[in-house]
Amino acid sequence: MGAVNGERGRPGATNPAVRGWSLLDELVLEVHALSARFPEEERAGLGRALRKAAVASAAILMRGTLAGEPELRRAAGLSLRSLAPLRYQLYLARRLNLMDLRRYRAVCMRHDRTVAALTELCESEGPGERLAKGRNASLSAGLASPDILPGGEPDAIFARPAD
C-alpha cells in the first residue's frame, strides 16, 4: 500500500480528521487486497464481511465530514464502533489460515493506528469550540458571574444546601 497522508512529516499529520480519514482509507484498501486473496468460497463469506465492515466505517466518517465539527466527532465514534467487528473478523481469518501471520500482524497494526487516530478525532476540539471556551473563560474572569443565570437569578441547581 502507498504512504499514508496522516503519517509524521506528511500533509495533514496535525489535523486529526485528515489523519483519521487517511488511515481508514488505507485500511479499507488493505482489507480489499487481503480478501481478494481468499479462496473462492471465503471471498463471498468472510471476505465480504471484512470488506463490508471496513467500507461501512469509512462511509460513516465521510458522512460526518459534511456536517461540521461536532457531527464529525460523533461520526468518528460511530466509525470506531463499526471497526470492532473488523478486528475479530481479521482474527478469525487468521485462525482459518486465510492469511499468514506476517500479513495478519501488519493489518492489525494498521487497524490499531486507525483506531488511535479516530479516538483522537473523537476527543479533539475544533476551532469554534476553542473560541467558545475562550469566551467562557473571559466571562468567568469577572465580566459576569458563572453563578448567575441570564435572568439574574442564582443558579439553584448548583447551590449547596444550608446545614
Q: Nearest 5°: phi and psi at 148? A: -110, 130
Whether 157 shows a pLDDT value over 50: the answer reads no
44-65 pLDDT tens trace: 999 999 999 999 999 999 988 8
What pLDDT does 89 receive? 96
Whether 159 shows a pLDDT value over 60: the answer reads no
74-125 pLDDT tens trace: 999 999 999 999 999 999 999 999 999 999 999 999 999 999 999 999 988 7
Domains of the chain, each with CATH number or no CATH: 16-124 (1.20.1440.60), 132-163 (no CATH)
139-155 pLDDT tens trace: 333 333 333 333 444 33
Task: Read off the C-alpha cell for 12.
Answer: 495533514
